[in-house]
């Protein structure tokens, strides 16, 4: 028979073994949790795809501002009445005046009109500033008439400096240019007369 001293030694060993195993398990959990959490998207990554709300209260007629959405530049242009008239002048010179062949996202239903904008704010153009040829950012050329690298009957719009593609003040590409499609119109909505959200509309987030 085993004496009491042997039993005490065995119990002591058993207690030590359990404690060591539990501590090791806790350590393992502590090691695994940060590793697993590294797969979750960072706040920066989530923000990159999140809707962007923009204050346009200081955007005067004829002015344009650029904001970032999903890592791309987006223009918000407050078009004057003259600019809207220039849009209509350009129709016959465009490759796809009705955006029947959108680029990387469908044209929102509420922008399926001659000004590619919401009817209640037809002067405000919201457009992704990425050339549909090779992804350069076009530059504004709002002035009408002859000027460098543009036709003499230029109605105003945008010129891509990389390969010469031109777009009207709706972001629609002109005929016979390297760019095959119009600039994208992202989902957007107005939360007030002076605030627009890019990346979200009545159907939810893009």
Region label for 25, one of left (φ > 0), alpha (ψ between -120 and 50) or beta (otherwise): alpha
Please state, in angstroms and rounded to a whole number, the distance separating the CA atoms of residues 187 and 111.
9
Please state, in angstroms and rounded to a whole number, the distance separating the CA atoms of residues 34 and 11.
36
Please state, in angstroms and rounded to a whole number, the distance separating the CA atoms of residues 47 and 41.
10
User: Is the Cβ–Cβ distance between 87 and 98 less than 8 Å?
Assistant: no
Cross-strand bridge partners of residue 196 = 54, 190
Residue 101 a catalytic site member = no
In the chain, how many H helices and how many E strands?
A: 3, 11
Largest CA distance in the chain: 112
* Beta strand spans in 21-86 (E): 52-55, 64-69, 72-78
Q: Which candidate in 98, 101, 133, 163 is catalytic?
A: 163
Residues known to be catalytic: 163
């Amino acid at each position: 028979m085993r004496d009491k001293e042997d039993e005490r030694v065995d119990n002591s060993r058993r207690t030590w073994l359990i404690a060591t195993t539990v501590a090791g398990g806790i350590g393992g959990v502590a090691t695994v949790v940060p590793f697993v959490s590294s797969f979750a998207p960072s706040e920066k990554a989530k923000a990159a795809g999140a809707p962007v709300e923009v204050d346009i209260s200081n955007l005067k007629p004829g002015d344009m501002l650029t904001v970032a959405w999903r890592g791309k530049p987006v223009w918000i242009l407050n078009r004057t009445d003259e600019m809207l008239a220039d849009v209509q002048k350009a129709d016959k010179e465009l490759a796809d005046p009705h955006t029947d062949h959108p680029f990387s996202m469908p044209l929102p239903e509420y922008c399926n009109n001659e000004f590619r904008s919401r009817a209640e704010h037809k002067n405000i153009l919201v457009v992704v500033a990425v050339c549909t040829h090779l992804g350069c950012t076009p530059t504004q050329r709002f002035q009408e008439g002859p000027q460098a690298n543009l036709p003499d009957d230029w109605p105003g719009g945008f010129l891509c400096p990389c390969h010469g593609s031109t777009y009207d003040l709706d972001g629609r590409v002109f005929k016979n240019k390297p760019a095959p499609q119009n600039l994208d119109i992202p989902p957007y909505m107005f939360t007030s007369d002076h605030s627009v959200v890019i990346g979200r509309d009545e159907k939810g987030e893009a």
